[in-house]
Amino acid sequence: MRSLPLAGNCRLLLFLSFFCVCATVAPAQSQQSIDARLRVGTQELMRGDCADAQTDLRAALAARPSLIQAEGLLGVCEKRLGEPQAQVHLEHAFARLTDPKLKMEVGVELADYYYQRGDLDHALPVVRALVALSPDNIDILFFAQNVYQEMADNTLNKLALLAPESPRMQQVVAEHLVNAGDLKGAAEHYRQALKMDPYLPGAHFELAEAILEASPNDAAAQAEAGQQLQDALRVDGDTARIECEMGRDAYLQAQMDAALAHYRRAQTLVPDDVEAMMGIARILMREQRPAEALPLLKQVVDADPLNGEAHYRYSRALQAVGQTDAAHEQIQIYQTIQRARQKVVQVYQEMNRSVNTPADEADTE
């Protein structure tokens, strides 16, 4: 097990949070000793002297059990010293701390505590909370990726042991092939899974997606995908994603009325569904109705700021209604996203992995 990248490296956060800690201590004479023990304990922890720090922090907490900051810092010390009560103190403090810097530090140590013990089920909700606290923190994102990947690997290994010849295993293999860019190979495994279980939830839809991604302009592929989507409706029931995929299939066949009906149905099922709004906007732009597409595209770029196609089409719609400056701004955002996407593709290629690049986002259709 690897340690969480930030664990054991909290001096800056502790220094910043120290002021928040001390600010909560009343200036009354009876609280001066608590203030002193807390201050000394914090400074000792900042120097890496956890043995002495925990003595002072424990004394401060004993004098005032509600001093949640002291409990959080005490939990950090105990965890680094390998003491069993660290878990209780870290959990209790993390649930109640309000200062974001100190909550982040305590959360980092708590997540690492679980992770080192292979307790991914408990690590996961803490990691999710840390990502919510600091969504752009690269170290937290890196650790979250490790946790998610290990959970996925563990689940896959268990499935392979329990049911290696099952239709679900075929479906898992197909999903891995999709991620690797082998859409035709994935389609074969989806077909094998459905041969074993024609009512396998999700498989008809996923097969249709793989077929269309592999050959979007092939009439036979479009027809097969359409049949799989009809089967998906029968097995999985009507959902926004199925309606969107049916809309896409109809769009590729230039059946604009049918495509629009499917996308509108998807939007009825999930009003803020990004793909439904994008599908409707594509059709409106194709039919030279940019003013009607504008509010939908605005919703999409607000909901999904990294959606390059949305920024591109929004730019075209703005240009069509005479908002030149705003259109120029959107095309610049689109170009920035495209450059970033290319960097991501290069990184994945270096990892010997294939990234499914979306259909040309600058499609003039």
Q: How many CB atoms lie under 10 A from the CB of residue 199?
A: 12
CB 111 within 8 A of CB 143: yes
pLDDT tens by residue, 127-162: 999 999 999 999 999 989 999 989 888 888 888 899
DSSP track, 153-165: HHHHHHHHHH-TT
CB 157 within 8 A of CB 170: no
Q: SS3 of 326, please?
A: helix
The mean of the pLDDT values for the chain is 87
Q: What is the rounded average pLDDT of the residues 84-98? A: 93
What is the per-residue pLDDT for 201? Answer: 95
What is the per-residue pLDDT for 266? Answer: 97
Q: Is pLDDT of 41 > 90?
A: no
The structure tokens 């689109």 sit at 334
CB 299 within 8 A of CB 317: no
Confidence of residue 363 (pLDDT cuts 50, 70, 90): low
Task: Tell the burial category of 229 from Cβ atoms under 10 Å away from its Cβ (0-12, 13-18, 19+).
Answer: buried
What is the per-residue pLDDT for 323? Answer: 96
As a whole number of angstroms, the distance between CA 338 and CA 193 comes to 36
Domains contained in the chain, CATH given: 11-159 (1.25.40.10), 163-229 (1.25.40.10)
Q: What is the rounded average pLDDT of the residues 65-94? A: 91
What is the per-residue pLDDT for 352? Answer: 55
C-alpha dihedral (361, 310, 134, 351), degrees to nearest 10: -10
pLDDT tens by residue, 42-51: 888 888 888 8
Q: What size, in residues, is the chain?
A: 365
Helices (H) and strands (E) in the chain, counts: 18, 0
As a whole number of angstroms, the distance between CA 365 and CA 248 comes to 13
What is the per-residue pLDDT for 361? Answer: 46
